[in-house]
Amino acid sequence: MALRIAQWATGPVGAAAARKVIEHPDFELVACHAFGAEKVGRDVGDLIGLPPSGIKATNRIEDIIAAKPDCVLYMPLVWDVEAMAQLLEAGINVISTANYITGRSYGQAAVDRLEQAAQKGGVTLHGTGINPGLANAYALAMSAQCAEFSHISVLESVDATEYASAETWIALGYGSAPDTPGLADAARERSLVFEDAVEMMADGLGIVPDEIAFKAEFGIATKDLALGYMDIGRGTVCGLKMTYSAVVDGHDAISLSTMWRLGDAMEPDWQGEGYVIEIEGTPSIRCVFDREGDPSGGGLVTAMSAVHAIPAVCAARPGIVQAWELPMVVARHCYRP
C-alpha cells in the first residue's frame, strides 16, 4: 500500500516535494499545511503548478494530524519545535529540511523534547537536504574506500541567485555593510545546522572533536544588484564563505564549507564548481558534482533527498535518526527514458 504523506509548506522546497509525492507510485498525498492566508483553502495542485489534487491547503496542525499521514515532509523556512513534537507524538514520522540535521543547534532542551516526542509516538525524526544533508552522506559513503584518512572536506560553492528567499539572505547578512558589528556572529547563528552536520559526520566516523571551529569571509557587490526578490546595494554584502571544522588535537579532521554568491558583480569574484568532496587518506579521493537542471535554485535537490528517504525513515527505529543510520536512499521509481 502507498505511504500516506502530508506536505508542510509550499515554498521552493515544499512545492518540489509535493509534486514528486503526487506523481510517485509509492506515495499518496493526503494533506498539506501552507503559510499565508491567501493559500489556505486552495487546492494543492493550484499552489504547486499541477492539476487539481483534491487536497485543500490548511494552516491547522489539527487537520494534518487528523489526515493520519505516515510521514510529514516538514519544510518551512522558520521551524517550530513544538509543531514538530506534536506531529511526532501523534505517531507521525517527520522528515525535516528546515535547518535540521541533529537538532543540537536548537539547544539541548529542544533535542530532548523531540527525542521524547518521537519515542512517545513510536516514530522517527530525520533531518536532511542537499547541504547539509546528502552532501555529508556522500562524504561518509566515500570514506568506505579508505583504509585511513586525515581530513574530509565538503565544499558547496554556487551562484545562489535563483534561490528567491530574501528572508534567508538578510538573516545571513546579505545587503548589509561589511563592517556591520556582529556580522560574522549573525551568519554563524543562522547557519548552526552546519555545525550539527559536522557533529553528525564525526559521530558516524567515530571522531570526538575537541571543538567545532568557525570562520567567515564576505564578498562585496561592485554595483547595485536588483535580484527581483531583493535589492543589494553597491558596497554591501552579496557573498559569503563559511567553514565549520571538527578540530582534533589542533588538526581539522572534518571541514564543511559553503560559498554562496548573489548576482554577477562581486569582489572577490569567487567562482563555484558545485559540490566538491575531498578525502585525504589511503587512498585520497576527490568527487565533484553539480546540480544542473534545477530552476528552483536548489529547492528541487533539497526536496528530493527528503522524498526519497520516506520509506527508510518510516521503517527506522523510533527517535532521532541520522543519515549514517539509514539504509541506502535511492531515487526509486524515477527512471524516465
Tell me how long the chain is: 337
The pLDDT value recorded for residue 290 is 79
Say if CB 130 and CB 309 are below 8 A apart.
no
- In tens, the pLDDT along 260-275 reads 999 999 999 998 778 9
State the number of CA atoms in the 13 A half-sphere of 77 facing the CB.
15
Rounded to whole angstroms, the Cα distance separating 284 from 247 reads 20
State the number of CA atoms in the 13 A half-sphere of 167 facing the CB.
4
* pTM recorded for the entire structure: 0.91
- In tens, the pLDDT along 134-149 reads 999 999 999 999 999 9
Query: 312-332: buried (b, 16+ CB within 10 Å) or exposed (e) per residue?
Result: bbbebebbbbbbebbeebeee
Please tell me whether the peptide bond between 311 and the residue prior to it is cis, using omega within 30 degrees of 0: no
- In the chain, what are the domain boundaries? 3-129+300-325, 134-290
The pLDDT value recorded for residue 297 is 63
The pLDDT value recorded for residue 295 is 64
Q: How far from each other are the two terminal CA atoms of the chain, in whole angstroms? A: 26
Task: Reduce the secondary structure of the chain to three states and give it as a string.
Answer: CCEEEEEECCCHHHHHHHHHHHHCCCEEEEEEECCCCCCCCCEHHHHHCCCCCCCEEECCHHHHHHCCCCEEEECCCCCCHHHHHHHHHCCCEEEECCCCCCCHHHCHHHHHHHHHHHHHHCCEEEECCECCEHHHHHHHHHHHHCCEEEEEEEEEEEECCCCCCHHHHHHCCCCCCCCCCCHHHHHHHHCCHHHHHHHHHHHHHCCCCCEEEEEEEEEEECCCEECCCCEECCCCEEEEEEEEEEEECCEEEEEEEEEEECCCCEECCCCCCEEEEEEEEECCEEEEECCCCCCCCCHHHHHHHHHCCHHHHHHCCCEECCHHHCCCCCCCCCCCC
The yes or no reply on domain 3-129+300-325 and CATH 3.50.50.60 is no
Tens-of-pLDDT digits for all 337 residues of the chain? 899 999 999 998 999 999 999 999 999 999 999 998 999 999 999 999 999 999 999 999 999 999 999 999 999 988 899 999 999 999 999 999 998 999 988 899 999 999 999 999 999 999 999 999 999 999 999 999 999 999 999 999 989 898 888 988 999 999 999 999 999 999 999 899 999 999 999 999 999 999 999 999 999 999 999 999 999 999 999 999 999 999 999 999 999 999 999 999 999 999 877 899 999 999 999 999 877 766 666 788 899 999 999 999 999 999 999 999 999 999 999 989 9
The pLDDT value recorded for residue 217 is 97
The pLDDT value recorded for residue 78 is 82
Residue 233 bridge partners (DSSP): none
The pLDDT value recorded for residue 240 is 97
Cell numbers for 197, please give them: 552536520
Say if CB 28 and CB 3 are below 8 A apart.
yes
The pLDDT value recorded for residue 23 is 95
